[in-house]
């Protein structure tokens, strides 16, 4: 929208001319439709960056880049990959791996 107006200054001198530009923007909404996935035995998960083991141990960077299977689950404790890293994590430090479906 464009509007042109003429104004006079306070002393009544020569009118000043200005142009006012107004932009009307429609609201934009982003809707996230993916529902949370519950983690259970057999789920494929990733470890959140910086997470520690259930007992507080740190890990090498490669642990955060791979996907692991939950082999045991009891309360908030999940044991990952019994035949590989075989480590317990807090469930809150795990995210469901994108299976591509």
Q: Mean pLDDT, to the nearest integer, of 8-35? A: 53
Q: What is the dihedral of CA 32, 35, 36, 37, to 10 degrees?
A: -140
Question: Would you state the pLDDT for residue 38?
Answer: 84
Asked whether residue 77 carries a pLDDT value surpassing 60, the answer given is yes
pLDDT band at 11 (very low <50, low <70, confident <90, very high): low
pLDDT band at 99 (very low <50, low <70, confident <90, very high): low
Q: Write phi, then psi, for 67 (nearest 5 degrees).
A: -110, 140
Summarised one tens digit per residue, pLDDT across range 26-54 is: 454 444 445 567 899 999 999 999 999 99
Q: Mean pLDDT, to the nearest integer, of 81-90? A: 93
Could you state, in order of their start, the residue ranges of all structural domains in the chain?
Answer: 44-96
């Amino acid at each position: 929208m464009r509007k042109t107006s003429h104004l006079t200054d306070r002393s009544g001198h020569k009118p000043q001319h200005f142009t006012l530009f107004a932009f009307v923007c429609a609201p934009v909404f982003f809707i996230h439709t993916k529902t949370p996935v519950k983690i259970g035995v057999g789920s494929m998960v990733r470890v959140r960056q910086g997470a520690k083991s259930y007992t507080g141990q740190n890990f090498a960077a490669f642990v955060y880049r791979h996907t692991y299977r939950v082999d045991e689950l009891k309360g908030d404790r999940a044991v990952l990959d019994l035949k590989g890293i075989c480590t317990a994590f807090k469930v809150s430090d795990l995210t469901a791996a994108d299976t591509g479906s």
